[in-house]
Chain A
Amino acid sequence: MAQLISIDPVTRIEGHLRMDVEIDGGVVKDAWSSGTMFRGIEMLLKGKHPWDAQQVTERICGVCPLVHGTASSYALDDALGVDLPDNARIIRNLCLGANFIQSHVLHFYHLSALDYVDVTAVLKYSGNDPVLQELKGKIAGLVAAKDPYPLLPRYESGDYVSDPDLATTLVAHYIQALEMRKKAHEMITIFYGRMPSFVGTIPGGVTTMPTVSNVAAFRSRLAELRDWINRIYIQDILTVAGVAAYAPFLTVGDTGGNFLAYGGFDQDSKGSEKFLPRGVITNGDIMNVQQFDETQITESVAYSWYDDSTDGLNPKNGKTEPAVEKSNGYSFLKAPRYDGQPMEVGPLARMLVKKPQMLVDLATKLNLLSNPPFKFGILPRHAARAIECKLIADEMDSWLNQLDLSGKIWDKKGLPDDSYGRGLVEGPRGALGHWIHIVDKKIENYQAVVPTTWNASPRDKDGVRGPIETSLIGVPVPDPDNPINVVRAIRSFDPCLACAIHVIHPEHNGVKEFRVV
C-alpha cells in the first residue's frame, strides 16, 4: 500500500530541508522538496551602499561564502564598468578554486561517506597499521562507553561497506580529510584574510597583491592537496563506485537529462574563455551542448509561497512577494527554469558540458555511454565532483605562474547613478547568478538565483517537478523506517538550503498566515 514518509531534518547538508516521499511497492513514487527556514538577505540590501553587497551576500551561506562574494563582486564590477586587472581575475580564480577543493572534499568525506561506510566495521580491523589500530581503539572506546555519537545512530541498511580493512581505511581518510579541507581554507585566507566570511574581494579587484611569499605559501599547500586528491580522494570514489551493491546507483537518481552550466574561471579579461565552459544540455543529449541565453531564465512561483503575479519573471527584474497562504504552496524556494525546463546544476552538469577525458573514460568503463538516452545517477554525481576537484587543483598551479608581482590588483571606479550589473559564476554546488540594480549610488534591487534553488526547486506552473524531486522517483526504499537511499540521492546534490532561501519582501502585508495545506 502506498504511504507518505516525511524526512525532517535531512542532515549532513547545509540548512533546513524536509523531504516528503510517497512510497509504493518499495520504491519512491513521488516526492516534495521543502525548505523550512528563511531570513531575508536580498531585501535588507535595499538602500544600502553597493559596496556592502558582497560582505552581506557572502553571509547568505557559511559553506559557500566564497562563491557568493565572488558573484557579487562580478555583479558590482559589471554595474560600475570595471576593467578587471589580470591579477585580480587570477587571484579570484585561485581562491575560488581553493574553495572548490575545500567544498568537494568536505562533501564526499564529511557529508556523504557515512551513507556508505559502516563505522562499526572498524572494530573488526585486524591489520598492523598503528594509525588504524589507534582509530580502532578510539571507536571501540566510544562503543564500550555506549556513547558513539555523532557516528551512531543512523539509518540501518544491509549494504554499508563492512569489509574491516576497507571501512577502517575510509574512516581514516575521513579524519585526514578534516585536515585537508582546513588547508584549502588556509589557501583562501592567504589572499582573503579569513574563512568563512572573507574580506579579500572588493568591487574592482582584490585587496592583496601577489608577493613571492604569499604565492609560495599558496603553492606549497596546493601541492600537498593535489597529491592527496590524486592518491586518496579519486581512489576512494572509484572504490565506492565499484561496490557491487551500489551498482544500481549508477543510474538511480537521474534527473531527466537537463543540465545547465554558466561556466567559471575566466581565462581572459572579457571572460570569453572559461576553464569550466558555459553550456546547456537537454534531454540527455550530451553530445549537443547548446549556447546559453541568459534571457531564458525565469522563476516560477506556482508552488512556492510567493504571489502568483510574480510568476515567470527574469531575475534581472525579479520580484519576491510572499503569499504563504497559497493553498498549493509547499516551499520557500522558487522554481527557476531555463527555456521553461528544470535544470540540474553542479559538478555533473559542468563535467558533461566540458567532457574531460577522465570522465569520458570512467563513464565508458561503467557502461554509462552505451545506450542513449544516457542516465547519470547518484554515483556519477559523486565521481564528477571528484574529477572536477582534481582538474581544478591541477590547473591552479599554472594560474599561480600567471600572476604579475608588480601588476595592478584594483580598478577604482565611482558609483553610478543608474546601472544594472550581473555576475554569473560557478560555485561548488552549481551555477550562481547575482543581479544588482543601483540607483542614486544605492542598491535599488538585488536578486540571487542560487544552485540549490535550481536543484531543490518545487514544481513549476506546469506541475513539473524540480530536479531533486525527479531524481528520487524510483529510488528503492525497502524499509520505510530507514530510507537511506533517499538521503543518499539527496546528498549527491550537495544541497545548501540557506543559499536557496534567501529572499523576503518585508513591505508586503500578506505575511500573516503560514499554512501547510
Chain B
Amino acid sequence: MGSKGVSRRQFLKYAGATAALLGLSEAMIPEIARALEGMTAGKPPVIWIQGQNCTACSVSFLNTNYPMVGELVLDKLSVRYQPNVMAASGDVATKVIEDTAKEMKGKYVLVVEGPIPTKENGRYCTFGLKDTMVPFFNGYQRREDKPISAWMDELVPDAAAVIANGNCASFGGIPAANDDVTGTTRVLDYVAKNDKSKVINIGGCPSHPDWFIGTVLDYLFYQKVPELDQYNRPKAFFGQLIHENCERRASFDAGLFLEDWNDNNPDLKLCMFKMGCKGPVTYADCPTRRWNSKVNWCVGANAPCHGCAEPAFYKNLSPLYEPLPDVHFAGISPLPDTLGWVAAGATAVGIGGHYLYKQLGKKAEDGEE
C-alpha cells in the first residue's frame, strides 16, 4: 500500500501518467513513483490567486484526466487558497494566505491567474480587506479593499516558484488590450523587480490542464523550474509549431483549403489557413495533445487556430478569421523553416514562419499595435 489508502497499482498507474505527461521514458516510472511517494509526507503548499481573470484556466484545470483533479488537489498538493474551490470565504479565507506565507516561507508555489492591474494603486482588481478604514453608507466605516498588486508584493518574494497560468497572466492577453486604462501588467513584468527566473509562463487562453499540471509535477519531481523558452514557457509543451504537427498539413501542402463551412466533409480534412488559421505562427502541442480528454481540438472542429498560446494573442493576431497579415500563397514552400510567405505588394521577400512569429511576439512585448 502507498500512503493514505492508495494501492500500489493505482500509485504506479499515477506515476505512469505523470511520466507520459512529462514526456519521460517508462523506465522512469519506478523513480517517479518513489519521488511521488516521498512527496506525500509534506505536500507542497499552493496559493492560487486571481487578477483580471475570467476563471477559464481554473475551469480548464478541472478538466484534467491524469491525475484526476480530486487526487491532485487532495493527495499531491496542499491547495491552501483557490477561490473557486475552497470552503472558506472572507477573512477566514484570506487568513489562510497570511498563515501560509508566514509558516511556509520560501516553500509555497504561487499560481497567478489573470494579469495585475497597476493604475490607481491597483484598485481595478481587489480581494480581501486591509486594516485601514474608509467611510461607507449609513454612517458606517468599512475596511479598505486590498489590491492584488499588494498581495503580489507580499507573496512573490518568498514564493519558491511563480506560475503565471494562462495567456493573460503570462502575456497580458485580452485585458492588455485596455492596458492604458487599468495598467494591466504581466506577471513576469510585475515579478521582474524580484526574481524573474522563478516565473513559469503557461500560455493558452485557457491553459491546457496538462500544460499546467505537467509543469507543476515537473517542478515537484525535479525541485526546480523546468527548462524555459525565451518567453519563460516550458519547452516541453510549447516547443513545436502547430502548423508542423497539424493533422491537416497535407491539405495545406496540396493547396486544399476550406472556403465554405458547408463543404467540411470530415473525411476531406481541409486546411483552415484561408479561414484565418494562426497555426503557422503558434507554438503549442495542441495537434498531438488535443483537448478535453483528447476528444477534439480547434482545427479538428473545422475552425481556425486563433493562436491563443502566443504572446501576440489577442491584439496582434486580430482579425482572427482573416488569413495571416500581408502574406499570400505565391511561392509557398512546404519546408517548415522556410514557409515562403511573400509579403503582399512587395517584391518576393520570403518571410519564414519563425521570423513572422518572432515579429508578432515582439509586437506583443512592445505593447504596440
| A contacts, CB < 8 Å to B | 4, 6-16, 18, 20, 22, 30, 32, 36-41, 43-44, 48-49, 51-52, 55-56, 59-63, 65, 106, 110-111, 114, 119, 134, 137-138, 141-142, 145, 147, 149-155, 175, 178-179, 181-182, 185-186, 189-200, 202, 205-209, 211, 213, 217, 324, 330, 408-410, 412, 483, 487, 498, 504, 506, 511-517
Contact = CB atoms under 8 A, between A and B. Distances in A.
A147 B43 contact: yes
B222 interface: no
Given A7-B90, A189-B291, A194-B291, A16 B62 contact: no
A155 B89 contact: yes
Given A138-B75, A189-B295, A196-B206, A51 B88 contact: no
A48 B318 contact: yes
Contacts of A515: 134
Nearest to A39: B175
B320 A51 contact: yes
A39 B206 contact: no
A498 B53 CA distance: 8
The listed residue with most A CB atoms (<10 A of its CB), out of B134, B178, B314, is B178
Nearest to A303: B137
Given A153-B96, A186-B292, A199-B303, A9 B138 contact: no
Given A9-B94, A12-B85, A193 B53 contact: no
B318 A49 contact: yes
A189 B296 contact: yes
Given A6-B142, A16-B125, A147-B43, A32 B137 contact: yes
A201 B208 CA distance: 21
Contact of A194 (B89, B90, B292): B292
B155 to A, nearest CB: 15
A38 to B, nearest CB: 6
B56 interface: yes
B345 interface: no
Contacts of B304: 199
Contact of B145 (A18, A152, A186, A207): A18
Interface string B116-153: 00001101111111000011111011111100000000
Contact of A137 (B5, B59, B182): B5
B96 A209 contact: no
Interface stretch (B16-24, B258-266, B324-332, B351-359): B258-266
A142 B88 CA distance: 17
B54 interface: yes
Contacts of A483: 90
A149 B78 contact: yes
Contact of B92 (A14, A155, A178): A155
A150 B87 contact: yes
A62 B56 contact: yes
B261 A410 contact: yes
B108 to A, nearest CB: 12
Interface in B206-242: 206
Given A60-B54, A61-B55, A516 B144 contact: yes
B78 A207 contact: no
Given A22-B140, A178-B68, A51 B319 contact: yes
Nearest to A483: B90
A155 B43 CA distance: 24
Given A200-B303, A208-B301, 15 more contacts: A9-B127, A11-B88, A37-B124, A38-B182, A44-B315, A119-B87, A138-B5, A141-B4, A141-B5, A151-B87, A189-B301, A208-B264, A511-B120, A514-B123, A516-B142
B27 interface: no
A506 B301 contact: no
Contact of B261 (A49, A193, A205): A205
Contacts of B303: 193, 199-200, 202, 207
Contacts of A65: 56
Given A114-B87, A138-B5, A39 B262 contact: no
B79 interface: yes
B88 A153 contact: yes
B55 A155 contact: no
Contact of B128 (A9, A41, A110, A150): A9
A8 B125 CA distance: 12
B58 interface: yes
A149 B80 contact: yes
The listed residue with most A CB atoms (<10 A of its CB), out of B60, B127, B141, B296, is B296
A271 B358 CA distance: 47
A55 B306 CA distance: 9
Contact of A22 (B83, B90, B138): B138
A506 B83 contact: no
B75 to A, nearest CB: 7
B322 A49 contact: yes
Given A9-B83, A62-B57, A197 B68 contact: no
A59 B175 CA distance: 10
B125 A36 contact: yes
26 contacts: A4-B136, A4-B141, A8-B127, A12-B86, A39-B184, A40-B182, A41-B174, A52-B318, A62-B58, A63-B59, A110-B62, A110-B84, A114-B87, A119-B87, A145-B43, A147-B78, A153-B96, A155-B89, A186-B293, A196-B60, A202-B321, A213-B266, A217-B295, A487-B89, A498-B55, A516-B144
A517 B90 contact: no
A49 B125 contact: no
Nearest to A4: B140
A106 B69 CA distance: 14
A80 B178 CA distance: 28
Contact of A61 (B54, B78, B144): B54
Contacts of B175: 39-40
A506 B178 contact: yes
Given A38-B124, A153-B87, A193 B306 contact: no
Given A55-B306, A209-B264, A516-B136, A37 B128 contact: no
A18 B145 CA distance: 9
A409 to B, nearest CB: 6
Nearest to B145: A36
Nearest to A133: B5
Contacts of B315: 44
A147 B108 CA distance: 14
Contacts of A18: 126, 145
A213 B300 CA distance: 14
A150 B140 contact: no
A208 B301 CA distance: 6
A44 B52 CA distance: 15
Contacts of A8: 90, 126-129, 145
Given A11-B84, A196-B206, A205-B261, A56 B55 contact: no
Given A193-B291, A200-B301, A49 B319 contact: yes
